[in-house]
Amino acid sequence: MRCVLWIQLCLLLVLNTRTAELTISSSCQSHCGKISIPYPFGIGNGCYLNEWYEVQCNHSTSRKFVPFLPKINREVVEINFPRPLNFLDEYYNLFGSIRIKTKITSMGCSGGDGENLEEVFNFTGSPFSIGEKNMLMAFGCNNKATLTNIDPKIVGCVSTCNITTVQLFPAVINCFDYQCCNASTPTEVGQVIGVKIESADGNKTRQGCNVAFLTDEHDQPSLWRNKTDPRKLHGGKYATIQLKWRVITTNLSFQESLGCPENFDSTRPCYCEWVADDELLFIRCACTYGYEGNPYIINGCKDFDECKQLKEDGRPEFCTNRGQTCQNIPGSYQCVVKKSKTFLIYIGVSIGLSLVIVSVGIWLYKYMKKYKRTNLKKKFFKRNGGILLQQQMVSREGHVEKTIVFSSKELEKATESFSLERVLGHGGQGTVFKGMLVDGRIVAVKKSKVVDEDKMEEFINEIVILSQINHRNIVKIFGCCLETEIPLLVYEFIPNSNLFELLHENLDDHSLMTWSLRLQIAVDTAGAVSYLHSAAGSPIYHRDIKSTNIMLDKNYRAKVSDFGTSRSVTTDHTHLTTVVTGTAGYVDPEYFQSSHFTDKSDVYSFGVVLVELYHWRKTCFFSTVSRKQNTSNLLHSCRKRKQTVGNY
């Protein structure tokens, strides 16, 4: 029982250590002289799979390093892996190949070594077997060479110098001279074979030097040129034969560790199969077609570029048809139709012309859009009285600021394209936006709802007149913009709210409205009205004085604003006859009845504001006023709401 446990433990240790052998240490010697020594073969401890694959790198008599297999006592000439495998290949292609040196059998040749009439190769129990590429060769006269240990098969040939025999059997002679013969080795020879030499007549008579040997160089010119003389071949002492090799292992996880499937898959880099032979377990591996390298180490099979393969004349091996180019892909290649230079030039020119056409189209579109926008601005400028304003500016040069006219682009930039976040307030005449000019001035931009084109001349005159006003209690007008559909007016910006909001909406600010402040507001407003009526170049009637049009600056000083309905009169006129406009509660009753607006009408509206300052009560407000409305009804409605009325 104890012995069984020891055996199981040893097997586990073997399995674990074998898996680790699939990686090669970088310290392992990869060559001996000019010969490559790939894994599972190796030089030095830990560099080979097991003792069968140990290689010793020894000094030869010529002082060159030569590889040597001590287990079979043979010098190595070359080690190869199986060629890349495809689905048409047979299983025997999974063998690797190794070329070794062997002694030459001889008879009747002089030399201190004596005769060697038979050479036997026995590789029983090893991973090596005789390769199919070898051929039996015999040189000399009256020479019979046979292969032994291959029962029941009989293979051999006779080399003769009899001219008659040569003429009778010319097909069997493949030598340049007549003193040679050859015979192919049978398939699946196995691990044991021998080469025997004797006289062809059976009496062992000697007719000079005769040699026979197995070799894989039978198709090499180096064997034939000036070497058909048996004495020269005997002097070389050695020939090379090909052996097949595979891997002996007890590690059942060997294949899994390599990552090579047991069922052939052309998409995988490698393939392995297990073989049981004479109570030994072998594994044979090969790279699949399109890959090359070492299939016995992890990731040892690498994709190779078929497109770099050339024929003997230097031309590509693949994709040789006209117009094709080779493109490498993992494990294979593909032929791609190569586009001609003419086609590429055509594509390039087409793309270039397309880009030019598109660029010209975009430029024309932008140009036409800009042209239309410029013409539209000119149209608006002319319709909104721009020509008249220019004439007024020229006739009043020195009195009117030349910066009075703003472009639409300037005001769009100042108000962020009239953003809703810039809105200061809405009124009956339009919307007011906060803006900042390029010189840093903060302004209020008034965007009117509608402008009467028939009154455009009066509108321009009012702008010119108002631009001359310079009074600290009147909101200054900086200019206008006539390039838009409806003209824009630019005023001085007042940071605080108007008087109406302070009296009736911002109840928290009532503590500020002392008698002194209210009196100051009344005085400021009175000074502004007096200036408009008497001190301006031409008398100006405001026509809409009310608490919402009295702005308060940061020091709560009053500034009269909103001249949208204002009119100027000559000094020889005492009144204006117009359609009644204004705000209910502030309109002069006489003006309401007669449509004659005088300076006293502004004073009446100012009086209503004084009543608001005194009582802190709203006037009766209506959104519109028309001549057909009855004054008594207005008064009755206001008294019913218990509010202050305009004719208090």
| Cβ–Cβ under 8 Å, residues 529 and 519 | no
For the annotated catalytic residues, the residue numbers are 544
Long-range contacts of residues 63-66, Cβ cutoff 8 Å, at least 24 apart: 64/33, 65/32, 65/33, 66/32, 66/33, 66/35
Place of tokens 């560790």: 257
Q: Nearest Cα to 194, choosing from 262, 272, 136?
A: 136
In this structure, the chain runs to a length of 648
In a 10 Å sphere around its CB, with 0-12 CB exposed, 13-18 middle and 19+ buried, how is residue 76 labelled?
buried
Q: For residues 322-361, b (16+ Cβ closer than 10 Å) or e, as one string?
A: eeeebebeebebeeeeeeeeeeeeeeeeeeeeeeeeeeee
Angle, in degrees to the nearest 10, between helices 456-467 and 386-395: 40
Tally of CB atoms within 10 A around 104: 24
C-alpha radius of gyration, the chain, whole number: 58
What residues does 196 pair with on adjacent strands? 118, 146
| Cβ–Cβ under 8 Å, residues 585 and 620 | yes
Q: Say whether 366 sits in a helix, a strand or coil.
A: helix
Long-range contacts of residues 216-222, Cβ cutoff 8 Å, at least 24 apart: 216/99, 216/131, 216/133, 216/134, 216/135, 216/240, 216/241, 216/242, 218/135, 218/137, 218/182
Helix, strand, coil fractions of the chain, as percent rounded to 5: 30, 25, 40
